[in-house]
Amino acid sequence: MGGAAGHMRHPFDLMSVKSGNDLIGIFESLKSLVGTASEGLPNVKFDGSNVSFKVLETGEIAVDRGSYADISGITMSSVVSRFENPKHGMRTAIPTVLRIMTLANIGPELKALGLYDNPHYFLNTEYAESGTINATAYSGNYIFIHGVNAFYENTFRGITRPGIPKPLGYNPKKKKDVPVKDKSVEVPYDKKALASLIKKANEVAQQFDPPFNVVGPVPVTKKAQINYSPALSESITIPLSPEYLEQYPEVRALQGSSLKNWLSAIKKKPAQYYAPLYDVEIPTLAGKKINPYHKTTYVSVMDDGVNADSIVPPEHVRTLIDGMIILHATRKLGHQFLLGLTSDFGDMILLNKEEDDTDHEGVVIRNNSFGNYPFKITGEFIVTGMYGEFSAKMAAAPTTVTESFLKKLIRESLNRIIF
């Protein structure tokens, strides 16, 4: 989820995770949570385009994707002027969503959900059309409604977005508490009202040609025992030069040991997330700065075999290694967690895939026992998700690929990468 809903955290972003062993503890807690009848169970994380919508003062339903250009709402009459490019996907997505929601007569449900009394409330919604380019491909047409969010009040270049007051959060660059950068926050809502809204909207959407499926939060259930041993017992050797290993014997001693041992050696995680920044940045030898969980750096080292000490100075290598180990553990433990889960929407990971089958992006956990913010478990999608859209667009690229075309694809792909 992005756009109006903002960045969704990973387990290592939680304040309660302070060490490598704490990260293991989070995954163990999740294992015991699945299969209970309590609130806050994991839900399927869907992947689509942001088409979140709200109710205007006139009572009209309008899309608001979180941009300042959307404050007045994108309606049927304004979608063309908002997206001038005739090929823009929103020219199809937004009218489809607005038609379905208007025809469904969901006024009573929207009122019960608070959207009439709170103009800054919106339904966090995504759109996925069969054949469109997402990191996850769906065989049908879907509108996913995740829940109710409220925009934070904010002012930018003289334009004010109404909303609830922003709470304070620590800013590592300014070294003090400042208003958080999140665009919105999830708010409690009437679950029965949302279920009724989804049912009404789906009945209308099924009559469209082609038909659409309107889907709400889909809880997961346990289909098999969740076993983290294959991940924790994995032997890890970080690509490093002999010179670095000679100078840092404590790292040399860990080479080839299990992922669990590497995690146990991390007594303090290398960086804490304070939206939208981490409190630690590492200077690279190329003159840039990265956070310890930088995904493309992780891939270049862990998957491609580039020496970590060829990327950052020697004194910062251990911080980078700790970040990569935490990201790797989140990837591998997440995969094991998802292997044991299923839902009414199918298994989280498909072991016997047909040609058009793809795994789900992962699951979302909304549970106050872990903190105030939802977070996601995505397993291998941490890596594969950064390639899905880019690869699909390359397949549809013009015969002659120009430098400007490549730069455009890279910029769009990087927008999907974690901070």
pLDDT, averaged in runs of 10, over the chain (419 residues): 68 95 96 65 85 96 94 96 94 97 97 97 93 62 95 89 88 82 90 97 97 92 92 98 97 98 98 89 96 96 96 98 98 95 83 51 86 88 63 43 46 40
pLDDT at 333: 97
The pLDDT assigned to 409 comes to 45
φ/ψ region of 66 (left if φ > 0, alpha if ψ in -120 to 50, else beta) reads left
pLDDT of residue 132: 57
Ordered alpha helix ranges (H), 58-131: 79-82, 90-103, 107-112
Q: What is the pLDDT of residue 35?
A: 62
Domains in the chain: how many in total? 1
Instruction: Tell me, yes or no, whether 160 lies in a domain.
Output: yes
**Residue 247 counted as domain residue:** no
> 3-state DSSP: the chain helix, strand, coil percent, rounded to 5?
35, 20, 45
In a domain, 112, yes or no: yes
Q: Please report whether residue 217 resides in a domain.
A: yes
DSSP state of 301: I
Cα–Cα dist 93/394, whole Å: 23
In a domain, 64, yes or no: yes
- The tokens 């009572």 sit on which residue? 59
Residue 372 in domain? yes
Q: In which domain, by residue range, is 358 found? A: 43-221+352-414
Contact 344, 218 (CB under 8 A): yes
Tell me if residue 400 falls in helix, strand or coil.
coil
CB burial of 238-262 (b: ≥16 within 10 Å; e: otherwise) equals bebeeebeeebeebeebeeeebbbb
Closest CA to 3 of 87, 96, 123: 123
165 assigned to some structural domain: yes
| pTM score | 0.81
Instruction: Return the DSSP state at 9.
Output: B
Position 136 scores a pLDDT of 56
**387 in any annotated domain:** yes
Under 8 Å between Cβ of 45 and 362: yes
- What's residue 405's pLDDT? 45
